[in-house]
Amino acid sequence: MASAAAVVTLNVGGELFQTTTVTLSRAGASSPLASLGPSSPSDPHFLDGDPRLFARLLSFLRHGRLLAPPPPSAALLAEARHFALDGALLASLSPASAFSPLSLRPSALLPLTGRVSPSAVAVCPSPPHPASLAVAHGGVVTCFDAALATRTSVLTPLPAVDSLVAVSPELALAGARDFPGVHLCRFSDDAPAAAPEVLSWPGSPSATVLSMAATSASGAPSAPWLFASFESARRNSSAVVAFDLNSLSPVAEIGRKEVFGADIEAAIPATKLGWLGEHNLLLAAGSHSSPSGVVGDIRLWDIRASTTVPVWEVRENEDCFADVAASDTLSALFKVGAASGEVFMADLRRLGNGDGIGLETWVCIGDAQRAAAAVSSRRKEGNGCRIDCYCNWVFVARGADVEVWSQVELAPEAGGKKVMKRNWVGSGPSLEVAGDEESIKEKAKIVSWAFGGSRMALARADKRSVEVWDSAPAEICANT
């Protein structure tokens, strides 16, 4: 308990608040709040501010997160700037609308305990929560609060976590290949330090979780839902299972596939899932490598209409995808070719009505000639590439660097149509100097990433830390 000498009484817009110097110090050295000393109710510090907004900011400083809706508003963010909160705090309150990929800059390097490098990162969706961060390293999942000031760790029974979804600041879900179930990690103060709860595929006690995706609170028939891809222990069947996260019970089995005879490609499990809330579509994609090359399936499901027949599907065996993603705001699918490493786009608005396959052929938004040459020579330039969509942008991880594609409208004299243009996050492809050494080394490969609020989080190979990049507005950058 704080001593009486550490208690601070504040008069904010005519309303009295009491807190401690420790709580106010979390606002950061640049904030006038951090310099306020102890004061009594008879002689409080006066602050010119909105008491309703200040009450939320004070709660945020106490707990490192907003405990209740509504989500951070422009007025709350303006109040936080008024009191010059630390840049990391401001960035954690910033909504996705403040995200600017070309303004992303490294803002924090979060060290992890133990000797295992991170294998998966996830950012809590915002709104309604500020963007807290979950990181899997070995069998441990660590959650950092939105301000990146405190952390809580949960030990799972998994030797290594491959898939991670952050549902809220108090809950993450973890899965691993060749180990059964989706493991719940609870980070509340009264939760146990282990993850005993497991979501399993009905009728298959031993299953493999390959990929997970979660809907938003308003984006599913029985919201919120978690979609998890499973493969049976004998690898002779696969399915995507939907779980109701309120009851933690399975509610639907989607696209069950069985192996027939020697055709092991008949039941390729989904290794990438994505939820398109505006379109009410589930993306499920998986690939299989064989002596004849890489074969992959991409399916789109309208689970309101059918859980057995997709609204669109395609099997790829020529420049099959290394990774695939879907964008609600751009109404498009994107992929990185496994052979070419180039980026391709397909317009969701060209889906057929009632007759199934109506999506046009992929359009290369990169170098089409280079892509064709790579396919004909059977190169594998897309190996290890990742692709993801956030807000109005498409991100591609190539080794250690991140490129970003944005949609721009050409001038009327150039036709006025919209095209995708490429740029680089940060300084782009480059080398880094190792501390004060004169030797130069390549940056480590990106193994996982996540986006939320105004942030991007990166995990790199053989690094026992996580990079946090913020695209903070100018007012925030001035305080970092």
Residues 184 and 419: their CA atoms lie apart, in Å, by 42
Nearest to 473 by CA among 28, 13, 188, 105: 105
Nearest to 445 by CA among 457, 459, 434, 427: 459
pLDDT computed for residue 233 by the predictor: 76
Over 70: is that where the pLDDT of 306 sits? yes
pLDDT computed for residue 138 by the predictor: 92
Q: Give the residue, 38 or 428, on which the prediction is more confident.
A: 38
Secondary-structure breakdown of the chain: helix, strand, coil percentages, each rounded to the nearest 5: 15, 40, 45
Give me 53's structure tokens: 């907004």
Q: Give the residue, 219 or 333, on which the prediction is more confident.
A: 333
Q: Give the residue, 264 or 420, on which the prediction is more confident.
A: 420
pLDDT computed for residue 245 by the predictor: 80
Band the pLDDT of 412: cuts 50, 70, 90.
low
pLDDT computed for residue 127 by the predictor: 57
Mean pLDDT of the chain: 81
Buried b (16+ CB within 10 A) or exposed e, 273-306: bbbbeebbbbbbbbbbeeeeebbbbbbbbbbeee
CB 164 within 8 A of CB 142: no
The one-letter code for the residue type at 156 is T
Over 60: is that where the pLDDT of 221 sits? no
pLDDT computed for residue 435 by the predictor: 44
Element (H, E) at 185: strand 182-186
Residues 127 and 398: their CA atoms lie apart, in Å, by 29
Query: Averaged over 433-458, what is the pLDDT?
Result: 72
Question: Coil, helix or strand for 266?
Answer: helix
pLDDT computed for residue 436 by the predictor: 41
Class for domain 4-85, per CATH? Answer: alpha beta
Q: Where are the alpha helices (DSSP H) in 64-96?
A: 74-82, 87-93
pLDDT computed for residue 217 by the predictor: 46
Residue-wise pLDDT for 118-142, tens only, equals 999 998 865 555 678 999 999 999 9
Over 60: is that where the pLDDT of 89 sits? yes
pLDDT computed for residue 300 by the predictor: 93
Residues 77 and 85: their CA atoms lie apart, in Å, by 10
Q: How far is CA 151 from CA 143, 146, 183, 189, in A?
A: 5, 10, 19, 11
Q: Give the residue, 196 or 266, on which the prediction is more confident.
A: 266
Q: Give the residue, 240 or 290, on which the prediction is more confident.
A: 240
Band the pLDDT of 45: cuts 50, 70, 90.
very high
Question: Coil, helix or strand for 209?
Answer: strand
pLDDT computed for residue 365 by the predictor: 92
Contacts of 262 (CB under 8 A, 6+ apart): none
Lowest-confidence range among 44-58, 349-363, 399-413?
Answer: 349-363
pTM confidence score: 0.81
Residues 466 and 449: their CA atoms lie apart, in Å, by 9
DSSP 8-state assignment for residue 181: S
Buried b (16+ CB within 10 A) or exposed e, 429-460: eeeeeeeeeeeeeeebebbbbbbbbbbbbbbb
Residues 161 and 141: their CA atoms lie apart, in Å, by 8
Give me 282's structure tokens: 């589930």
Residue-wise pLDDT for 354-374, tens only, equals 444 445 578 899 888 888 888
Over 50: is that where the pLDDT of 477 sits? no
Residues 68 and 266: their CA atoms lie apart, in Å, by 46
Query: Averaged over 445-459, what is the pLDDT?
Result: 90
The CA R_g of the chain, rounded to the nearest whole Å, is 24
CB-count exposure of residue 392 (10 Å: 0-12, 13-18, 19+): middle
pLDDT computed for residue 476 by the predictor: 36
Over 90: is that where the pLDDT of 410 sits? no
Residue-wise pLDDT for 65-81, tens only, equals 676 666 667 788 788 88
Q: Give the residue, 2 or 10, on which the prediction is more confident.
A: 10
Q: Give the residue, 433 or 304, on which the prediction is more confident.
A: 304
| 47, 51, 56, 62: CA torsion to nearest 10 | 40
Contacts of 353 (CB under 8 A, 6+ apart): none
pLDDT computed for residue 416 by the predictor: 55
Q: How far is CA 137 from CA 199, 258, 376, in A?
A: 21, 33, 39
